[in-house]
Amino acid sequence: MKTSTTASLKHHFLIAMPHMADPRFAQALIYLVEHNQDGAMGLVINRPSGLNLADIMEQLRPDSPTAPPYQAALVYAGGPVQTDRGFVLHPADHHFQATLALGELGMTTSQDVLFAIADGQGPARHLIALGYAGWGAGQLEAELAQNAWLSCPAQPQILFDLPPDQRLDAAAASLGIQLSQLSSQVGHA
């Protein structure tokens, strides 16, 4: 019996290749939260949704103002699945009601992280996303084999410190690649 052992890309970036046909993922940079034999889950980290933390807090806690420096914190379109569900990536040294440890990062899905950020008590470095990207068993591996994505280890400085429009190119540059120099034609040797 032949078994397949696929290396996990958990805590990696997925970099959309220039020929990505799916408009939901064209020019996307995704942080992979999970990747195993059952599938993969990630967050698009370079697409602001047009919302900010003050917009979210107005719905969650309308009678309590958001601290001025955090009102404009961007909310990202994390992916096309469950777009009404929130996820917050942050350094692992902060823990909330529903925090998943991801090595040097944590991902929280409970509202207490949003309240803490809004009150100036939460993690200073954070990325708030609505929705996620998901792949079934073997689906991401098939897309990688079709050259739809490049991958590289995730780097917190790209995730937290760069403006969203610079993240994709910075992740590609970490591999020594300029996406603008790649052909949109796909081939296999």
Q: Where are the domains of the chain?
A: 12-180
126 and 116 Cβ atoms separated by less than 8 Å: no
Helix (H) / strand (E) element for 140: namely helix 139-145
DSSP-derived secondary structure letter, 2: -
Calpha distance 116→69 (Å, rounded) = 13
Whether 185 shows a pLDDT value over 90: the answer reads no
Distance CA 147, CA 144 (A): 5
Per CATH, domain 12-180 is 3.40.1740.10:
yes
Q: Tell me the pLDDT tens digit for each residue of 78-99.
A: 999 999 999 999 999 999 999 9
Residue 72 has pLDDT above 50, yes or no: yes
Distance of CA 69 to the CA centre of its chain: 23
Question: The pTM is what?
Answer: 0.91
